[in-house]
Structures are given as structure tokens and as C-alpha cells.
Amino acid sequence: MSIRLKLFTISFLSLGTFWPCFLSVSAGEIPKPLKSLHDDSTLPPACSSDEQSKLKSSIQKLAGPRNPQQAWNLVEALLCGEGKKAEDYVQQYRAKGLTHTSTGTGDERTAVRKVGKHESLLLQKQAWGAQASGGVQKIHVSYWRDEACVAGFEILFNNQKWRLISLGEACD
């Protein structure tokens, strides 16, 4: 099942802790680079070792002294994690009442739906060209879901932990 999203923010809830151990590459190989439909660029897979190194550095700089390793663990699990351990980890740091919004080019309305409590949030390596930005308490990660859809999620630092607070995607 494919999920279409657009970025927005929601309330959050303090959840428990769990130390991750993910990246079992055997279930799904790192995808090949993605050719953009918008220009002649090629987008690197977000879960390749080179892209992971760049993204980790960016996430940890944005997090600063605010638990940078946990911020990275959450981002890594969302983008590249597979299996029950990764899913359990992400579920512990998701906001209660998490919703996602989807929109398409030319759509008059934006579709919003509540994410089910047991619905998988893992992208399972299906992300290209990931980039991070943010400010004091919030980090936004954007990526291409496929040739026509740009997506993202936000994590927020609260009570000494990073929490997944929003998901989103817009498609042509």
C-alpha cells in the first residue's frame, strides 16, 4: 500500500524508549539512483552508504546537543529500517494522533487521514535525494518517494527525546 503525504505538524505525546538495531539489508537491496522527471538530475538512494553518511552528519549538526544520536536513529529507521525492530522503534517515537496529508498538482483539496496505531511508518529504503533542514527544536527531512512525489517528515525534540510529529507528500 502506497501512502501519499504532505508535510504538516501535529501535537505530540511522550513515549517510552528503545535502543535501535536496524538495517537488515537482506530484506530489500538499496535501490538504484532515480532519474528526476523535472530535470536531467539523478537522485541518489537515501540509504546508500555515502548518502547515509552525509545525512547523519546533517541530522547530528541540526540536533546539536539535543540527543543527536537518537535523532539520527529515528531518521535512519524511518528511511532505511526494515523489520519488526525498526518498526517497534519508530512506533515508540510517533506522536499520538499522527496524521498525514496528501495533495496532488492542481488538487483543490488536501486529503488528511489519521495514521493507524499499528500502521507501518517505515519507508523501507524507498527514498531518494534525502535532505535535512531545521531549527532549534525541529528537524525536517525531505526526500523523493518516486519520480513524481516529494515527501517529508518532521521530528520534534521534547522531554529529552525526538518524536515523529508529521508526515507529508505532494505528487505531480
The pLDDT of 36-59, averaged and rounded, is 92
C-alpha grid cell, residue 152? 517529508
The answer to whether residues 18 and 89 touch, using CB atoms and an 8 Å cutoff, is: yes
Phi, psi dihedral angles at 100 (to 5 degrees): -135, 155
The answer to whether residues 48 and 30 touch, using CB atoms and an 8 Å cutoff, is: yes
Instruction: Indicate the pLDDT class of residue 47, thresholds 50, 70 and 90.
Output: very high
The pLDDT of 120-145, averaged and rounded, is 94
- Asked if the model's pLDDT at residue 7 lies above 80, the reply is no
Tell me how far apart the alpha carbons of residues 166 and 140 are, in angstroms, rounded to a whole number: 9
The percent of residues above 90 in pLDDT, for the chain, comes to 60
Which of 143, 128, 134, 127 lies closest to 165 in space, CA to CA? Answer: 134
pLDDT, tens digit (0-9, with 9 covering 90-100), for 58-101: 999 999 999 999 999 999 999 999 999 999 999 999 988 788 98
Task: Tell me if the pTM is above 0.85.
Answer: no
Q: What is the CATH number of domain 35-171?
A: 3.10.450
CA distances from 127 to 3, 14, 19, 34 (A): 13, 27, 23, 9
Domain positions in the chain: 35-171
148: CB partners within 8 A, 6+ apart: 37, 171, 172
